[in-house]
Amino acid sequence: MTEPLIGIGSDGLRAAIHPLGAELWSLTDADGRELMTDADPRWWTGHAPLLFPFVGRSRGDVYRWEGREYPMPQHGFARREEFALIERTEDGATFRLEADAKTRGVYPFDFRLDMAFAVEGEALHMTATVTNRGQADMPFSFGYHPAFAWPLPYGGAAEEHRIVFEQPEPAPVRKVGDEPGLIARDSVASPVEGDRLAPTHAMFEGDALIWDRLESRSLIWGVPGVRRLKIDFPDTPWLGLWQKPGAHYLCVEPWAGMADPVGFTGDVWDKQGIMRLAPGAARRFRMDVTLVD
């Protein structure tokens, strides 16, 4: 860790955020029980990286804009950058990342990314605000990538956990294709039965499951009949679920954007899910995590 974690909380919930990537590292209930990944290095040491300025992998780890190629790592660079802490209270904190000479070398846009965290009762509210401070339209995508405990600490085996969607989700889902990290062009049948998914480790042997025809903007994670996590994501139309098979977490990833499809060779404006942000404009993406009975 380059700096101490920033802790915020209430009587019902506490969160700890690392300034590197403005990444949520811990979420604990009133009894100190951890609701997020154990970050076991055998599997994955991430916790909840922010995906910006692009979600997923660009083919060849490059993208094209105005006839030039720019390097871009998978899920963008924000997760590897130190954010400034610009506001802090007992129950909230806001972090900021702004364009500088380093970021302009790979992403030539004058952006600002503010990441606000606030705890209210047994709910954590997260709001990312992307602002275009430049003079040209800015292409970008954004996503959340939190890893929640699997199993959660409220009883029940891992195989008893369910994702309960807000709506039935019959549409086919997408998976990773033959090119590493890129999206297969063909969909596969939905593993959701009605509004419920019974995840298994084997589901993720081929990487993430991706919903790009998602009806829901909310879901509940955990064992029915005991305390669970309600996850709301009103501003992100797509969803990824991912883990390294056998690990003690499930990533619930609301996305506004997606990796390139297999074989993609187009301009940045042709990337699936890319948003166009006008000069001076801002766009917000909210995600709430609430303990429910």
The whole-angstrom separation of Cα 196 and Cα 186 is 23
Residue ranges with strand state E in 19-155: 23-29, 50-51, 62-65, 68-71, 84-89, 92-98, 111-120, 123-132, 138-140, 142-144, 147-149
User: By percentage, how much of the chain surpasses pLDDT 90?
Assistant: 99
pLDDT per residue over 81-101, tens digit each?
999 999 999 999 999 999 999
Average of per-residue pLDDT across 118-139:
98
The whole-angstrom separation of Cα 96 and Cα 85 is 7
State the pTM of this model.
0.97
pLDDT the model gives residue 2: 47
Q: Walk across the sheet containing 6-9 and list its strands.
A: 6-9, 13-18, 23-29
Average of per-residue pLDDT across 8-13:
97
CATH level 3 topology of 6-292: Beta-galactosidase; Chain A, domain 5 (2.70.98)
Identity of residue 118: A
The whole-angstrom separation of Cα 201 and Cα 81 is 31
When pLDDT is cut at 50, 70 and 90, the band that residue 3 belongs to is low
The whole-angstrom separation of Cα 255 and Cα 219 is 14
When pLDDT is cut at 50, 70 and 90, the band that residue 267 belongs to is very high
Average of per-residue pLDDT across 270-290:
97
The whole-angstrom separation of Cα 40 and Cα 120 is 29
Residue 1 pLDDT more than 70?
no
The whole-angstrom separation of Cα 251 and Cα 231 is 12
The secondary structure of residue 266, as a DSSP letter, is -
Angle subtended at Cα 15 by Cα 9 and Cα 18, rounded to the nearest 5 degrees: 130
pLDDT the model gives residue 119: 98
pLDDT per residue over 188-237, tens digit each?
999 999 999 999 999 999 999 999 999 999 999 999 999 999 999 999 99
Helix boundaries (H) for the chain: 101-104
Identity of residue 30: A
Average pLDDT of the chain, as a whole number? 97
Instruction: Provide the pairing of β-strand 174-175 with 209-211.
Output: antiparallel
Residue 119 near residue 24, CB atoms below 8 Å: no
Buried-exposed string 265-279: b where 16+ CB fall within 10 A, e elsewhere: eeebeebbbbeebee
The whole-angstrom separation of Cα 293 and Cα 291 is 7
Residue carrying the six token digits 């094209």 = 64
Angle subtended at Cα 142 by Cα 196 and Cα 162, rounded to the nearest 5 degrees: 15
Residue carrying the six token digits 């955990």 = 222
The whole-angstrom separation of Cα 105 and Cα 70 is 8
Longest dimension (CA), the chain: 56
The secondary structure of residue 82, as a DSSP letter, is B
Nearest CA to 56 out of 260, 284, 271 is that of: 260
